[in-house]
Amino acid sequence: MSDLKTHLAALDTATDRMVARTMEWCAINSGTNNIDGIHKSAAQIMPAFEAIGLTCEEQAPAPVTHVSDSGDVIEIPRAGAYVLSNRPQANRRILLTGHLDTVFPKDHHFQKIVNRGDGTLHGPGCADMKGGICVMLEAITAFEKTPYAEHVGIDVIFNADEETGSHASAHVLADKAKSADIGLVFEPALPDGTLAGARAGSGHYTFTVKGLAAHAGREFDKGRNAIVGAANVIAAVNALNGQRENTTMNIGVINGGVATNVVPDTCVIRMNARGRSPEDLRWVDEQMQQIVSGQNFGPDIEVSLHGGIHRPVKTNTGGTLALFELVKAAGADLGLNIGWQATGGCCDGNNLADAGLPNVDTLGVRGGHIHSDKEFAVIESFTERAKLACLVMLMLASGACPWPERLKGN
């Protein structure tokens, strides 16, 4: 790989500008629900990619519905996805993905990014994943300066709702995944550089329980307590835990009632399910449907179900395993020991795999404590990971390594 590595020399001096860019990008809040912040982030980030020859198109979000705390199904506003591309007629295509949104809303206390002076950045999105977007930008920039780029097309997707399940952007991911040969996703790696391998699939479900309101003192017997009915629903869901290995149901949020002297007429239960195989997820969905169809939660108590499986399982097999081995070989050539481990977490790599695209989904910076106000990114990993991603692209584009086969059964 020594000849290919010569094309990485320009990245040796990239760290300072990557850190500066990450700090600039993280200074703008882009929580998933902060549509204005998403647009401001896009206005910063898209020109940087257009400057290296990619054309940008914004694609409208798909409709997304949600059950309100009062039990009404409402539509949630979402920002669109940004798709950048070059060389549309290239016979090989690499799809790189990232997300503009973070988990931190604009009223969250965690808004400031700082360079701690200890080799880490500390701030919202520095690892997950504006730092990863910087890595992606530098990797593509270096790749585009090589003669090997001529016959390989680059597609980039930035969605704005990854942190809430990519419901509004799943169609964009699926469409581009079908025409690509490999996928590179720039979620953060673990602090030691370990990558995520197989990923669990996930589903979000909301049960809306309806009863009848009444005065708790004067007409208690005329009321139908939705919270009591919800407790029966929760017991039925929780009883499923342990029935199937590596398949879990987590009751996460409950909303119901208005005052202690009112028999509550509405209670909303929100839950998440995880499974490690497509069969696990099908079983979960069947069980949720059966719980609702039973409707045995108390006199005059009615229950409706909203949601379903939204992240398919990602397995570390076939073309994806071949791509992992290629990344491992590239890492070894750079003096990096690349390992991976299965995880119960989900990301857009699940969606790409479901569309048949081999992908590695933790090529961003090394970092930790993501989704918390302790989030950090390791500064030395910016250049390290940009070199790794660029070398993977060069190994494929140059013919040094074969392109992985698309995933079967997708």
- DSSP for 19-88 reads HHHHHHHHTS--BTT-HHHHHHHHHHHHHHHHTTT-EEEEEPPPP-EEE-TTS-EEEPP---EEEEE--T
pLDDT of residue 1 exceeding 80 = no
pLDDT band at 408 (very low <50, low <70, confident <90, very high): confident
Q: Can you point out the beta strands (E) in 160-264?
A: 182-185, 195-199, 201-210, 214-215, 248-256, 262-263
Distance CA 267, CA 211 (A): 9
What is the pLDDT at residue 29? Answer: 98
Average pLDDT, the chain: 96
Mean pLDDT of 347-365: 97
* This prediction's pTM: 0.94
Q: Which domains are assigned to the chain?
A: 2-68+76-200+313-397 (3.40.630.10), 201-310 (3.30.70.360)
Mean pLDDT along residues 305-333: 96
pLDDT at 97: 98
| Angular region, 290: left φ>0, alpha ψ -120 to 50, beta rest | alpha
What is the per-residue pLDDT across 25-38, written as a single tens digit (0 to 9) for each?
A: 999 999 999 999 99
Q: What pLDDT is attached to residue 409?
A: 66
pLDDT digits (tens, 9 = 90+) for 45-90: 999 999 999 999 999 999 999 999 999 999 999 999 999 999 999 9
Side chain identity at residue 154, one-letter code = I
